[in-house]
Amino acid sequence: MTTTDTHCPYCSLQCGMRLQAPHDGGEAQVLARPDFPVNRGALCGKGQSATAVLGAGVRPTAPLVRDKRGGELREASWTEALDRVAAGLAATAQRHGRESVAVFGGGGLTNEKAYLLGKFARVALRTPNIDYNGRFCMSSAAAAHRFAFGLDRGLPFPLEDIAKADCVILVGGNPAETMPPALRYFRELRSNGGTLIVVDPRRTRTAEQADLHLQPVPGTDLALALGLLHLAVADGRVDQAFVAERTTGFEAARTAAMAHWPERVEGLTGVPVHQLREALRLFADAAGGIVLTARGPEQQSKGTDTVGAWINLCLALGKAGRPGSGYGCLTGQGNGQGGREHGQKADQLPGYRSIEDPAARAHIAHVWEVEADDLPGAGRSAYELLDTLGTEGGARALLLMGSNPVVSAPNAGHITERLRALDFLAVSDLVLSETAHLADVVLPATQWAEETGTLTNLEGRVILRRRALTPPQGVRTDLHVLRELAARLGVDKGFPEEAEEVFEELRRASAGGPADYAGISYRRIRAEEGVFWPCPGEEHPGTPRLFLERFATPDGRARFAPVTHRPAAEEPDHEYPLYLTTGRVLSQYQSGAQTRRVPELNRAAPGPFVELHPQLAARLGVADGEALAVTSRRGRAVAPARVTDTIRPDTVFMPFHWAGAGRANTLTNPALDPVSRMPEFKVCAVRVERVR
């Protein structure tokens, strides 16, 4: 039988797997691929069942169009569907101006798709309004990374370095459920004699592995990091030589931290002083130390400052820019890293270039064979784009590719209404998601196993998904869609359909930029099991470990962030007395558009729930499994109670994978970080009541 080495379609690990094509029309088999260094053959249940989503009965296999508003979707030919999309975009632009047309992408799109989607927006549509759901993933970490180090790559070192560190602080992440094959690195860390500290309001499966679990009030991670830096300064543990030789801005950061003495931080965070001192001792005494953040501290209205404060701790203790030490972000989506590097973000051009930089605009314009002055400027960030859909001055027509904001956006009820207010909505996706159900045209797209393309995993390793299966008749690639739409909009050149041809252009576009892929080719990726960027030439070995000699700032020094604690945008009060935090569970992924179609995953995680402490349950008079209503200033969600002592008594938790009555993002707060424009998914004020 034919087998093909490829990669999982889900999280940012991009685990290696081997697909065995069916010989009798059945389902393709997922096999282990022990030679791929990231997961070494291990797969979670989502990866093992990934081919179940590709069946013809699970997805549309012909375009769907709606003849009138409120009418039913019906099957159509590709010619009719593409004509309708092009006409809808063109008519809106003619009637309301180019900025009335927008594009919204996804963090699961390949580098080739992300690159061509950005080019399509700026060359074929000539609109500034393009962003993607990766803005909801790690944009705060990216902003803090760029400020501190001059360069944003999720992990500036390979995953294997986690196991070799002496102490790791993991802030607001739960890889035991979100990326299970990565948990082995934390287990190896401990078996090697290292220490794991987990910071999380919940005692998650990952926190249960920790030597020390700090359980702060949601939204207080910034105060916690500042308190640890205060202790480092007060106890004389600052690495003065490292600070002097390799950093700038320490005095301002030190002054800010000194206002966060241990007793104050205990009052803000709920973390006892003795635990603060123990965490600082463990991290400071370690020869090599790593801080990792995930969505917990990042999805806050002060997420950039919060990540900056944790980076400050690393810098003050000399735990950055050295083997076995550093700061890293556990990227969430499959191509959350590469998706923003090559043009899906409103403010970026390929190669992680700023769209406002004249030299960057000139370089990209040369590659694209257009005039630099014809490239639009920066557009609205993801939530701001969605929030203004269908309004005066907002986008009136939207092409959406590989995203499901009806479930995944904050304040999701409002965003659903904004999508309904559009003059025209086209969706290209693998499945008929909740967002696709609102569309005027749905374009059925191939995915991972049915197409070839590159992605960039959380380590900055560029990998190659290889086509292993023939897609159903009637399904097309997103690259085909972009080529056909561009041609209908009068741009006949520059939109190739073959992924490798797109990647070759991406290499030229990224050359010389911060995310330089110029030396990476499909041939090299196959031969080397992925290549780490930056890789500026074909003779360059790639860069598994960044910053060992200098940081990517103009003077080569890392920069401290002068940050201070501030409360969440919305704190509990008399009317809404509890904190809500949200997250993922083991057997579902993101908005659930794909995983909710897999029977074995649904058996393991059949629906939403509200996790609450026994003290709160007793106060409410609610038993495990009873229906609970959770209400915020934005809406109401109803789901069964799950009573557990693993959560703080002042906090409830809901997973965000489901639509309908239990949609967690009906409740969440769209307050934005002023730098990253990341919404505050991870903390808002709610009240909880029994449903009688």
Using a 10 angstrom Cβ sphere, with 0-12 exposed, 13-18 middle and 19 or more buried, the burial of residue 3 is middle
Token pair 């963090």 in the structure block, residue? 107
Q: How confident is the model at residue 302 (pLDDT cuts 50, 70, 90)?
A: very high
pLDDT at 568: 97
Report d(CA 286, CA 265) in Å as an integer. 23
Using a 10 angstrom Cβ sphere, with 0-12 exposed, 13-18 middle and 19 or more buried, the burial of residue 434 is buried
In terms of phi and psi (left: phi > 0; alpha: psi -120 to 50; beta: otherwise), the region of 474 is left
Q: Is the pLDDT of residue 248 over 70?
A: yes
Q: How confident is the model at residue 25 (pLDDT cuts 50, 70, 90)?
A: low
Q: Is the pLDDT of residue 26 over 80?
A: no
Summarize pLDDT for 212-244 with one digit per residue, the tens: 999 999 999 999 999 999 999 999 999 999 999
Closest by Cα among 588, 678, 578 to 628 = 578
The answer to whether 120 touches 415, Cβ cutoff 8 Å, is no
Q: Is the pLDDT of residue 354 over 90?
A: yes
439 in helix, strand or coil?
Answer: coil
Report d(CA 268, CA 525) in Å as an integer. 48
Task: Report CA-CA distances (Å) from 653 to 171, 406, 409, 629.
Answer: 17, 20, 17, 13
Task: Report CA-CA distances (Å) from 649 to 216, 275, 298, 425.
Answer: 12, 19, 23, 43
Q: How confident is the model at residue 27 (pLDDT cuts 50, 70, 90)?
A: confident
Radius of gyration, CA atoms only, the chain: 24
Residues 6+ apart with CB under 8 A from 283: 167, 169, 197, 228, 289, 313, 317, 319
Report d(CA 559, CA 205) in Å as an integer. 34
Cis peptide before 670 (omega within 30 of 0): no
HSE-up of residue 546 (Cα within 13 Å, Cβ side): 27
Q: Is the pLDDT of residue 478 over 80?
A: yes
Tell me the sheet residues that pair with 6: 17
Report d(CA 453, CA 216) in Å as an integer. 41
pLDDT at 357: 97
The answer to whether 42 touches 51, Cβ cutoff 8 Å, is no
Helices (H), 317-439: 336-341, 358-368, 382-387, 405-408, 412-420
User: If you average pLDDT over residues 343-350, what whole number do you get?
Assistant: 94
Closest by Cα among 629, 656, 665 to 386 = 665
Q: Is the pLDDT of residue 11 over 80?
A: yes
Report d(CA 639, CA 653) in Å as an integer. 11
Summarize pLDDT for 460-474 with one digit per residue, the tens: 999 999 999 999 999
Closest by Cα among 517, 135, 505 to 347 = 135
Closest by Cα among 189, 220, 191, 186 to 204 = 186
In terms of phi and psi (left: phi > 0; alpha: psi -120 to 50; beta: otherwise), the region of 242 is alpha
DSSP 250-301: HHHHHHHHTT--HHHHHHHH---HHHHHHHHHHHHH-SSEEEEE-HHHHSST
Degrees to nearest 5, angle at CA 520 with 346 and 375 = 25
Summarize pLDDT for 512-569 with one digit per residue, the tens: 999 999 999 999 999 999 999 999 999 999 999 999 999 999 999 999 999 999 999 9
Calculate what percentage of the chain has a pLDDT beyond 90. 96
Q: Which CATH number fits domain 139-330: 3.40.50.2300, 2.40.30.10, 3.40.228.10, 1.20.1050.10?
A: 3.40.228.10
pLDDT at 55: 82
325 in helix, strand or coil?
Answer: coil
Q: How confident is the model at residue 692 (pLDDT cuts 50, 70, 90)?
A: confident
For the record, the structure tokens of 251 come out as 């005095």
User: If you average pLDDT over residues 75-82, what whole number do you get?
Assistant: 98
pLDDT at 70: 83
Summarize pLDDT for 88-109 with one digit per residue, the tens: 999 999 999 999 999 999 999 9
Token pair 């039988």 in the structure block, residue? 1
Q: How far does Cα 124 stand from its chain's mean position?
A: 27
pLDDT at 138: 86
pLDDT at 332: 87
Amino acid 73 reads: L
User: If you average pLDDT over residues 356-366, what whole number do you get?
Assistant: 98
For the record, the structure tokens of 525 come out as 């990726």
Q: How many CB atoms lie within 10 A of CB 539?
A: 7
Q: Is the pLDDT of residue 14 over 70?
A: yes
CATH class of the structural domain 77-136+335-448+476-495: alpha beta
pLDDT at 460: 97
Token pair 């799109």 in the structure block, residue? 109
Calculate what percentage of the chain has a pLDDT beyond 70. 100
CATH class of the structural domain 3-58: mainly beta
Helices (H), 404-516: 405-408, 412-420, 478-488, 499-510
pLDDT at 50: 95
Strand order in the sheet with 461-465: 453-456, 461-465, 531-532
Report d(CA 367, CA 240) in Å as an integer. 46
Using a 10 angstrom Cβ sphere, with 0-12 exposed, 13-18 middle and 19 or more buried, the burial of residue 621 is exposed
pLDDT at 22: 85
The answer to whether 407 touches 591, Cβ cutoff 8 Å, is yes
User: If you average pLDDT over residues 367-392, what whole number do you get?
Assistant: 97
Least confident of 56-70, 373-387, 625-639, 675-689: 56-70
For the record, the structure tokens of 490 come out as 């009068």
Q: How far does Cα 117 stand from its chain's mean position?
A: 18
Using a 10 angstrom Cβ sphere, with 0-12 exposed, 13-18 middle and 19 or more buried, the burial of residue 349 is buried
Domain spans of the chain?
3-58, 77-136+335-448+476-495, 139-330, 578-690
pLDDT at 195: 98
Overall fold of domain 578-690:
Barwin-like endoglucanases (2.40.40)
For the record, the structure tokens of 437 come out as 């159900």
